[in-house]
Amino acid sequence: MVISLAIFYYLYLVILGIFVLYSLFNIYHLLRFGFLTITNILVIIIYLAAASWLVVFSLSVLMTIDWSRTLIDLSGFANWKSFFNFNINIHP
């Protein structure tokens, strides 16, 4: 069994999904319950621009990594029972 580096990529995507849901939740509350002023709209636009830039930048950096590389190779433990096969001979 081989565990690849892609585990970290999938973990990143889960965290990114949580970030997007959290951002949508916050933007909804800023629009719904905040004062509808130019400052509020400007803060939302700056937040969306900065968050979008960070996501695009991080994804572009992550696309340069070979995610199929092996992180842990457990194929050597296929015959693990023979490791614990102790042959103790006691002769009187």
Helix (H, G, I), strand (E, B) or coil at 2: strand
Q: Is residue 83 part of a domain?
A: no
Q: Is residue 63 part of a domain?
A: yes
Q: Is residue 33 part of a domain?
A: yes
pLDDT of residue 67: 85
Q: Is residue 91 part of a domain?
A: no
Give the count of domains, the chain.
1
pLDDT of residue 3: 79
Q: Is residue 22 part of a domain?
A: yes
CA contacts within 13 A on the Cβ side of 85: 5
pLDDT of residue 85: 65
Q: Is residue 9 part of a domain?
A: yes
Instruction: Please list the pLDDT of the chain residue by residue as tens digits (92 residues).
Output: 677 888 999 999 999 999 999 999 999 998 888 888 899 999 999 999 999 999 999 999 999 988 888 887 777 666 666 666 666 666 66
Q: Is residue 43 part of a domain?
A: yes
pLDDT of residue 83: 61
Q: Is residue 11 part of a domain?
A: yes
